[in-house]
């Protein structure tokens, strides 16, 4: 194949060289009606003299403008403009010489103009012909529908096969895979896979794009690391080729690729799209045929929990939320999928005990995933009583009902902000953890576990959607502190690990998810701006505004007193600690109920400080000159 490409290149060069000479010769012949006079000027001699210096100038100019490079896939509008530019420069230079020498020793003006028109036709024809020959020699000659997008797939696995198959069968998609870039060395350049030519390794994406001239790149390798995706994105941005990506395994229904789920590369892909190995049979065994209740089902975590649980074939999937709009959206989405008839929406506030009792009596859930919460730190700081009632008391209320109605397992979604909390939101989650851990263990009825993790990318109220809106508005992008760091994880990845955690333990444990390395929020802001093709602090200003009430510089994932243990999954850790006695838990619950009814935020924070000694409030949450998180 390489020999064929080199042959095409030589043919392309020969045609351009021949076109330059033949067009000038033909221009003279047309001007003098195919009979060059010899008197008073020997025009045949003038023609050969002119060719000696005009043709080298043309060839140098054509080479400089890239006309000697064969057009690899199709002759496009910008290629036509490049030809016009080259001919404009040649014509202008020749007319300038004609004016300087007053027509002596130069071609006539009519010959110059005829030569330009002939060259325009010849060069456009050569460009189209060479690209056609190149496609034949590379096995890339396909009959594409009108306006169809040319796609290069990055990957050679099953998802690539599905992409190729669907774009062939479903012509209405307006896409066709015309080439592939390999990521695992399984195929070599020049080979064909599923009838599609392999262009080489993904590291050579520039050459592959030059060869296949794609309208878009689609990453189909789920094991491609975030660094490789980032490198691919930057290279393709220079080539002005958009990059898309298939969903992760957690986002796909039964591993089937749906074309509408292919999306542009997002922040979660370039920050931490890690390969997540999930024990699906174990999760399926936990959920299949069960009545599963998800609170906060309309939220970011809750809705993704519902998506992944639905695949596990539960008998009934109960979506509970107090937001009518959010609940309606997730219900409609899940009902449009297979097993959608098993989805039931419940418009209920988790704080309403009578309504929750009615839900338990009527639906009799087997498994509960409790993700309903107030999580916006500054907002809960302004209304701390609401945070305690929703995050602490409602959680305890659901735990009581779970025990009373014989629920098999309750999984509570906690947060890294519960460790040495500097905010009421974090403190309310920590209090809920303590009450949950104090419940009887190993009684063979209900197991209570908590799962603790940090920020998830693009969740509602998190920093990423805020940055996206600020960038879309032209800035400034506001960062609280240049040294503030956070753990980041994609929503599907976090939920996959939550489901894996749900299969672990016998009750009373807190499971901590491996969040990877913490990232500076400032660097995340810079990356998001660059992904839009803009320059930080040049196109979009980044403004430091200072820490808000209740915010830390650094987040932690466990207490020193907690015993750190492993589980069957390498990215899920078990944390155990001495639990409160029944009397201590009862006294704590009674006091939280009293504090939640108070109206003065400062009084509530002071009372929470008494209940939870590790609560440090908004008083110097971190030593900003230190790299070590402050301890209680």
336-361 pLDDT per residue, tens: 888 889 999 999 999 999 999 999 99
Where is 20: in which H helix or E strand? helix 2-31
Domain encompassing residue 197 = 149-265
- Top mean-pLDDT range of 126-140, 144-158, 511-525, 571-585: 571-585
Is the peptide bond between 476 and the residue preceding it cis, with omega within 30 degrees of 0?
yes
Residue 42 lies in a domain: yes
Residue 318 lies in a domain: yes
- Top mean-pLDDT range of 203-207, 365-369, 461-465: 365-369
Q: Counting runs of H as helices and runs of E as strands, what totals does the chain give?
A: 21, 22
Alpha helices in 273-393 (DSSP H): 280-287, 300-310, 324-335, 353-363, 377-382, 384-387
Q: Which residues pair with 575 in a beta bridge?
A: 510, 564
Residues 153 and 109 placed together within one structural domain of the fold: no
pLDDT band at 287 (very low <50, low <70, confident <90, very high): very high
Residue 556: per-residue pLDDT: 67
CB 449 within 8 A of CB 507: yes
Residues 233 and 199 placed together within one structural domain of the fold: yes
130-189 pLDDT per residue, tens: 666 555 544 444 444 444 578 898 887 788 888 888 887 776 677 888 888 888 766 776
Q: Enter the tokens of residue 367.
A: 């498994």
Mean pLDDT of 506-522: 77
Q: How far apart are CA 559 and CA 452, in angstroms?
A: 12
pLDDT band at 607 (very low <50, low <70, confident <90, very high): very high
Q: Which of 265, 293, 320 is the last residue of a domain?
A: 265
CB 308 within 8 A of CB 495: yes
In total, how many domains does the chain have?
3
CB proximity list for 512: less than 8 A, separation 6 or greater = 451, 452, 453, 557, 558, 572, 573, 574, 575
pLDDT band at 288 (very low <50, low <70, confident <90, very high): very high
Tally Cβ neighbours within 10 Å of residue 216.
16
Residues 157 and 71 placed together within one structural domain of the fold: no
Mean pLDDT of 19-33: 77
Residue 63 lies in a domain: yes
CATH number of the domain at 245, please.
3.40.50.720
Q: Is the pLDDT of residue 286 over 70?
A: yes
Q: Which of 105, 137, 169 is the last residue of a domain?
A: 137
Q: Is the pLDDT of residue 311 over 50?
A: yes
Q: Enter the tokens of residue 382.
A: 């302004």
- Judged by DSSP in three states, 104 sits in coil
Q: Is the pLDDT of residue 479 over 80?
A: yes
Q: Is the pLDDT of residue 621 over 60?
A: no
Residue 119 lies in a domain: yes
* Residue owning tokens 């002596």: 104
Residues 71 and 98 placed together within one structural domain of the fold: yes
Residue 121 lies in a domain: yes
Residues 254 and 351 placed together within one structural domain of the fold: no
Residues 562 and 451 placed together within one structural domain of the fold: yes
Residues 315 and 463 placed together within one structural domain of the fold: yes
Residue 196: per-residue pLDDT: 84
Residues 158 and 111 placed together within one structural domain of the fold: no
- Judged by DSSP in three states, 53 sits in helix
Q: Enter the tokens of residue 260.
A: 């509408």
Q: Is the pLDDT of residue 20 over 80?
A: no
Which candidate, 396, 388, 446, 412, places its Cα nearest to that of 586? 396
Residues 409 and 523 placed together within one structural domain of the fold: yes
Residues 218 and 94 placed together within one structural domain of the fold: no
Residue 590 lies in a domain: yes
β-bridge pairing 175-182 and 149-154: parallel
Q: Which residues pair with 263 in a beta bridge?
A: 245
> Of residues 154 and 3, which shows the higher confidence score?
154
Q: Is the pLDDT of residue 81 over 90?
A: no
CB proximity list for 348: less than 8 A, separation 6 or greater = 320, 321, 322, 355, 356, 359
Q: Which of 110, 137, 164 is the last residue of a domain?
A: 137
34-77 pLDDT per residue, tens: 777 666 766 677 777 777 777 777 777 777 766 655 544 455 66
Q: Is the pLDDT of residue 197 over 80?
A: yes
Residues 260 and 239 placed together within one structural domain of the fold: yes
DSSP string covering 314-339, please? -SEEEEEES-HHHHHHHHHHHHTSTT
> Of residues 320 and 123, which shows the higher confidence score?
320
Q: How far apart are CA 456 and CA 326, in angstroms?
A: 18
110-127 pLDDT per residue, tens: 777 887 788 877 777 777
Q: Which residues pair with 564 in a beta bridge?
A: 575
Q: What is the mean pLDDT of the chain?
A: 79
Residue 619 lies in a domain: no
CB proximity list for 485: less than 8 A, separation 6 or greater = 518, 519, 520, 521, 553, 554, 555
Residues 258 and 286 placed together within one structural domain of the fold: no
Q: Enter the tokens of residue 463.
A: 């920093």
pLDDT band at 386 (very low <50, low <70, confident <90, very high): very high
Residue 159 lies in a domain: yes
């Amino acid at each position: 194949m390489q020999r064929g490409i080199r042959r095409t290149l030589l043919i392309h060069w020969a045609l351009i060289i021949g076109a330059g000479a033949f067009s000038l010769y033909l221009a003279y012949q047309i001007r003098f009606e195919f009979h060059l006079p010899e008197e008073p000027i020997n025009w045949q001699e003038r023609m050969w003299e002119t060719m000696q210096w005009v043709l080298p100038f043309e060839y140098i100019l054509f080479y400089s403008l890239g006309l000697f490079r064969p057009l690899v896939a199709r002759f496009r509008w910008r290629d036509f403009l490049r030809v016009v530019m080259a001919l404009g420069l040649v014509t202008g230079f020749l007319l300038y010489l004609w004016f300087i020498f007053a027509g002596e020793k130069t071609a006539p003006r009519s010959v110059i103009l005829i030569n330009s028109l002939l060259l325009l036709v010849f060069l456009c024809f050569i460009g189209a012909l060479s690209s056609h020959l190149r496609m034949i020699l590379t096995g890339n000659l396909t009959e594409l529908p009108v306006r169809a997008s040319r796609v290069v797939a990055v990957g050679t696995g099953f998802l690539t096969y599905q992409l190729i198959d669907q774009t062939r069968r479903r012509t209405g998609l307006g896409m066709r895979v015309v080439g592939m870039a390999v990521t695992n060395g399984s195929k070599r350049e020049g080979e064909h896979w599923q009838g599609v030519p392999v262009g080489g390794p993904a590291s050579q994406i520039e050459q592959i794009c030059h060869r296949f001239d794609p309208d878009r790149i689609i990453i189909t390798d789920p094991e491609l690391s975030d660094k490789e995706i980032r490198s691919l994105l930057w290279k393709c941005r220079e080539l002005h080729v958009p990059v898309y990506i298939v969903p992760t395994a957690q986002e796909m229904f039964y591993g089937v690729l749906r074309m509408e789920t292919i999306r542009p590369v997002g922040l979660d892909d370039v920050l931490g799209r890690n390969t997540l190995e999930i024990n699906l049979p174990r999760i399926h065994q936990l959920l299949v045929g069960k009545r599963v209740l998800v609170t906060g089902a309309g939220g970011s975590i809750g809705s993704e929990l519902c998506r992944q649980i639905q695949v596990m074939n539960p008998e009934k999937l109960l979506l509970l939320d107090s937001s009518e709009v959010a609940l309606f959206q997730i219900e409609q989405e899940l009902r449009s999928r297979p097993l959608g008839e098993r989805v039931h929406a419940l418009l209920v506030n988790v704080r309403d005990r009578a309504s929750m009792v009615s839900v338990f009596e009527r639906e009799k859930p087997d498994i509960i995933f409790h993700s309903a919460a107030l999580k916006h730190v500054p907002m809960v700081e302004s209304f701390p009583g609401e945070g305690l009632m929703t995050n602490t008391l409602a959680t305890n209320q659901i735990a009581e009902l779970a025990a009373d109605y014989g629920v098999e397992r309750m999984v509570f979604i906690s947060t890294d902000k519960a460790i040495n909390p500097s905010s009421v939101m974090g403190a309310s989650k920590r209090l809920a953890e303590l009450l949950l851990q104090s419940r009887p263990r190993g009684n063979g009825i209900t197991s209570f576990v908590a799962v603790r993790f940090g920020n998830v990318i693009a969740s509602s109220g998190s920093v990423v959607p805020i940055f996206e809106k600020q960038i879309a508005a032209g800035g400034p992008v506001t960062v609280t502190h240049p040294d503030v760091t956070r753990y980041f994880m994609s929503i599907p990845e976090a939920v996959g690990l939550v489901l894996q955690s749900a299969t672990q333990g016998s009750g009373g444990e807190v499971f901590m998810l491996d969040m990877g390395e913490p990232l500076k929020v400032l660097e995340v802001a810079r990356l998001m701006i660059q992904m839009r093709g803009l320059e930080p602090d040049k196109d979009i200003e980044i403004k430091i505004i200072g820490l808000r009430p209740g915010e830390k510089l650094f987040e932690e994932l466990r207490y020193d007193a907690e015993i750190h243990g492993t589980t069957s999954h390498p990215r899920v850790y078990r944390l155990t600690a001495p639990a409160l006695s029944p009397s201590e838990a009862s006294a704590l619950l009674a006091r939280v109920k009293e504090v939640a009814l108070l109206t003065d935020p400062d009084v509530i924070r002071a009372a929470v400080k008494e209940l939870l000694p590790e609560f440090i409030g908004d008083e110097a949450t971190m030593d900003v000159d230190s790299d070590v998180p402050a301890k209680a």
